Chain A
Amino acid sequence: MTINEKQDELISDFSFMDEWMDKYEYIIQLGKDLPLIDPKYKTDDNLIKGCQSQVWLHTDLVDGKLIFTADSDAVITKGLVSLLVGVLSGHTPKEIAEAEIYFIDEIGLKSHLSPTRSNGLLSMLKQMKIYGLAYQVKSQQ
């Protein structure tokens, strides 16, 4: 699936949830379920510090594709992190660098990506795209 196909699928999944509680229960479940990162990668180098919650992000290049693993100390942030990782992980650096992330807005969770939210999520998305760009430049050299 392309990045946009994955986003559209998430938007469709969320469209069946009317209540805020349903959305949050789904996100919380995602946050609880996934072992998102190997503990050895939860280092200060991989830490994206937010004022409210923080995120760890690790990247590997496997067969020309970027594999992201990540974690957060807050469950809701972790759930959102896992959505982002699910959408972007496994794509080429170029696809990630050029991706336009619209699903968070569409599923009504735009405020979580606000710079004033300070939960580390926006910084994580920026960091993922920087990795995409960096690996893209590296492969062209």
Chain B
Amino acid sequence: MTSVFSKLNNMAHVPDIAAPALDIDKIRKDFPLLQEKVYGKPLVYLDNSATTQKPQVVLDTLERYYKQYNSNVHRGVHHLSQVASEAYEDARHIIAGFINAREQEEVIFTKGTTDSINLIANVFGRGVIKPGDEVIVSAMEHHSNIVPWQIMCEDRGAVLKVIPMDENGELIMEEYTRLLSDKVKIVSVAYVSNSLGTVNPVREIIAQAHAHNIPVMLDAAQAIQHMPVDVQELDVDFMAFSGHKLYGPTGIGILYGKREWLDKLPPYQGGGDMIKTVTFAKTTYNVLPFKYEAGTPDISGAIALGAAVKYVQEIGVENIHAYEEQLVNYAVAQLSTVEGLRFIGQPKHRSGAISFLVDTIHPYDLGELLDKQGVAIRTGHHCAEPVMDFFCIPGTVRASFAMYTNKEDIDRLVVAINKAASMLR
């Protein structure tokens, strides 16, 4: 791929939207779906927190896999199986590099963030949790980072504790400090809130937990596509993210876990690939990463996720971060001009998404009329009902961004909101 940078240097600290870090027009051409129209209008796609569109290189990788080397991995001695296995392990290597894992065996392919969190909740519950133990999540979690822990806590007789948040949609860190005790066995929090866009102070969360010898899991589903994430620098114990929010295919995701933990925790699903030997008397389990990859994995998805990560790396996640930060600031400023608009969540540090309401207009009505104008946003509770309950609202309208979002998308969103609001008032 040719370079997509403009000639600007030192992009990491450029606050001025007039100097984009990326050549957005060029990037947009890499995404076939962005060229589509809806209701005869050019698509404004602002539902990137739900899923991102895919660059051509990812689509080509998927097609090439099925056309040229489709075969099962880690099993066959034949040529195709070798090629597929190598491509699959190459993808793991790319992803390990992307998050700076100490070794690629710490990178497990899963179905996605939800699957990764369920995996850890399950094996951590069976391996570590005793009745009366405590698990900490936060008030702004996606249901995927609540329900697996609830199921486990119920099963093990443990207690789920919640870090509260304030009116701005920021975690109350003093309360977190107060919750930490010897009873707490694991903390699992979102790096970035999917419903509010809040970037949580995860370094501090991890440091405080580690001071009590408590491991931390990060739900990085809304962080990994927006900012550099280095698992060693964070010193995080477990981390989950999804491929499809990172420009890759659906059905593939990642669980990162420190070897010291993954080696000692029990296996999750049983089946092919995760065993060393099987007899009816006793089965011994395979080594990492295969211990946690039972059954035929999503081979094409994993390889295509590798291609997506490579694409992101070529553009540079630091550049994406710098550009998106400017874009989010621009969006907040433009949305502020809409009469009657109030932001749901006003965190000091925001990434990727903006939630809002206009007057007393129901988010469903607003979303409906935005859709008719070719603007794809998300309405509803965003799988974070406790967040909506906290703000006493039925849901929000959420605009969420990706590296290909441009100022024109934001401008058309604002025009569409004004038109919809005038019809609904």
Assess the B394–A28 pair: CB atoms within 8 A: no
In the complex, whether A75 has a CB less than 8 A from a CB of chain B is yes
Assess the B39–A75 pair: CB atoms within 8 A: no
B-side interface size class: 10 to 19
Given A52-B395, A53-B394, A74-B365, A21:B381 Cβ within 8 A: no
Given A51-B380, A74-B362, A20:B39 Cβ within 8 A: yes
In the complex, whether B372 has a CB less than 8 A from a CB of chain A is yes
What string of 1s and 0s marks CB contacts (under 8 Å) between B225-260 and chain A? 000000000000000000000000000000000000
Assess the A52–B423 pair: CB atoms within 8 A: no
Residue of A nearest to B379 (CB): A52
In the complex, whether A24 has a CB less than 8 A from a CB of chain B is yes
What are the residues of chain A within 8 A of B23 when measuring CB–CB? none
What are the residues of chain A within 8 A of B380 when measuring CB–CB? 51-52
Assess the A75–B395 pair: CB atoms within 8 A: no
What are the residues of chain A within 8 A of B423 when measuring CB–CB? 21, 24-25, 28
Assess the B424–A75 pair: CB atoms within 8 A: yes
Assess the A73–B424 pair: CB atoms within 8 A: no
Assess the B362–A20 pair: CB atoms within 8 A: no
What are the residues of chain A within 8 A of B369 when measuring CB–CB? 24, 76
What are the residues of chain B within 8 A of A28 when measuring CB–CB? 365, 423-424
Query: What is the distance, in angstroms, from A32's C-beta to the closest C-beta of chain B?
Result: 9
A-side interface size class: 10 to 19
A51 to B379, CA, bound (A): 10
What are the residues of chain A within 8 A of B367 when measuring CB–CB? 52
What are the residues of chain B within 8 A of A24 when measuring CB–CB? 368-369, 372, 423
What are the residues of chain A within 8 A of B368 when measuring CB–CB? 24, 76
Given A52-B364, A53-B364, A73:B39 Cβ within 8 A: no
What are the residues of chain B within 8 A of A119 when measuring CB–CB? 364
Assess the B362–A75 pair: CB atoms within 8 A: yes
In the complex, whether A77 has a CB less than 8 A from a CB of chain B is yes
Residue of A nearest to B420 (CB): A24
What are the residues of chain B within 8 A of A76 when measuring CB–CB? 364-365, 368-369
Given A25-B423, A51-B380, A52-B380, A77:B364 Cβ within 8 A: yes
What string of 1s and 0s marks CB contacts (under 8 Å) between A54-76 and chain B? 10000000000000000001111
Give the contacts of A3-36 with B (CB-CB under 8 A). 20-21, 24-25, 28
Assess the B365–A75 pair: CB atoms within 8 A: yes
What are the residues of chain B within 8 A of A21 when measuring CB–CB? 372, 423
What are the residues of chain B within 8 A of A20 when measuring CB–CB? 39, 372
Query: What is the distance, in angstroms, from B106's C-beta to the closest C-beta of chain A?
Result: 37
Query: What is the distance, in angstroms, from B71's C-beta to the closest C-beta of chain A?
Result: 36
What string of 1s and 0s marks CB contacts (under 8 Å) between A76-103 and chain B? 1100000000000000000000000000
Contact of A74 among B39, B364, B372, B381 (CB under 8 A): B364
Assess the B39–A53 pair: CB atoms within 8 A: no
A28 to B422, CA, bound (A): 11
Assess the A51–B381 pair: CB atoms within 8 A: yes
What string of 1s and 0s marks CB contacts (under 8 Å) between B339-365 and chain A? 000000000000000000000011111
What are the residues of chain B within 8 A of A52 when measuring CB–CB? 363-364, 367, 379-380, 395
A59 to B395, CA, bound (A): 28
What are the residues of chain B within 8 A of A54 when measuring CB–CB? 394
A116 to B32, CA, bound (A): 26
Query: What is the distance, in angstroms, from A114's C-beta to the closest C-beta of chain B?
Result: 13
Residue of B nearest to A51 (CB): B380
A90 to B368, CA, bound (A): 30
9 smallest CB-CB distances across A and B, nearest first, come from A74-B362, A74-B364, A53-B364, A52-B364, A76-B365, A75-B365, A20-B372, A74-B365, A52-B380
| B contact set with A: CB distance below 8 Å | 39, 361-365, 367-369, 372, 379-381, 394-395, 423-424
Q: A28-B365, A76-B364 are in contact. List 12 more A-B contacts (CB 8 A).
A: A21-B372, A24-B372, A28-B423, A51-B380, A53-B394, A54-B394, A73-B362, A73-B394, A74-B365, A75-B361, A76-B368, A119-B364
A-B contact pairs, 9 of them (CB 8 A): A24-B368, A24-B372, A51-B381, A52-B363, A73-B394, A75-B362, A75-B365, A76-B365, A77-B365
